[in-house]
Amino acid sequence: MVLEAQNIVAGYGETDILHGVSLKVHHGEMVAVIGPNGAGKSTLLKAVFGLIRVRSGAVHLNGEDVTDARPDQVVRLGMSFVPQVDNVFPSLTVLENLQMGAFVRRAGVKRRTEQVVELFPDLAERTGEVAGRLSGGQRQMLALARALMLDPQILLLDEPSASLSPKLVGIIFDRIRLINEQGTAILLVEQNARQALGLSGRGYVLAMGINRLEGEARGLLNSDEVGRLYLGAN
């Protein structure tokens, strides 16, 4: 098990958004988290990554209790996170963004940069370009690339297809599939539920801050209940 969240209760201010959510991700696995707006999907990622406080429950990374550990601590332990918005440094170049992603890496930064850029050909000729001038799809590629600079064991992705054209969505999901095939476990929160489940091995359905359903992704895709409530099926 690379990641396990147990009975997570978390929220903002005095309001709980998550009411005891649990999930597991095994090494090299891709797991999708789907559900309606307001279900708590993004809140779950933030709680796991240490961006908001876990009020009760526990988070374990490779068997180590990291509940409420700071993001810089969990990054060092092998977890990276790509938020939905504000996920690049717009005033820095592409190369500088990648170097920021390697902020605790002591050696091999140049070689790792070359490896990561190979995954994203659109960035290869733009390493000197300021990130704020990139298209939305290119920024998402850069955010993914930067998150890979420390060779994470697990990558948390929050709505990677948001606001992208259908063509770019296909490219981004293809890169996500390749990252997973190369051995990085992925926990994927995504509104495009059908595509997310199509990529993943297992899935969780959240509703009103609780685990509504879970199981193999193919089974969830073929579920009449999931299709009716979350996939737009009749």
Digit-coded pLDDT (tens) for 70-104: 999 999 999 999 998 889 999 999 999 999 999 88
pLDDT greater than 60 at residue 201: yes
- Give the pLDDT of residue 176: 96
- Provide the mean pLDDT of the chain: 93
- Give the pLDDT of residue 79: 97
- Give the pLDDT of residue 233: 55
- Give the pLDDT of residue 75: 95
- Backbone angle region of 13, left / alpha / beta, with phi > 0 → left and psi within -120 to 50 → alpha: left
**Average pLDDT of span 16-21:** 98
pLDDT band at 138 (very low <50, low <70, confident <90, very high): very high
pLDDT greater than 90 at residue 129: yes
- For the domain that residue 143 is a member of, what is the CATH number? 3.40.50.300
Q: For residues 168 and 57, is the Cβ–Cβ distance under 8 A?
A: no
List of E strands, 13-94: 15-25, 30-34, 54-61, 64-65, 79-82
Q: Which residue has the higher pLDDT, 120 or 187?
A: 187
CA dihedral 50, 55, 56, 61 (to 10 degrees): 0
- Give the pLDDT of residue 234: 47
pLDDT greater than 80 at residue 182: yes
Residue 195 domain boundaries? 3-230
Candidates 151, 145, 160; CA nearest to 93 is: 145
Q: What whole-number distance in Å separates Cα of residue 124 and Cα of residue 60?
A: 36
Candidates 154, 25, 156, 145; CA nearest to 78 is: 154
Total number of domains constituting the chain: 1
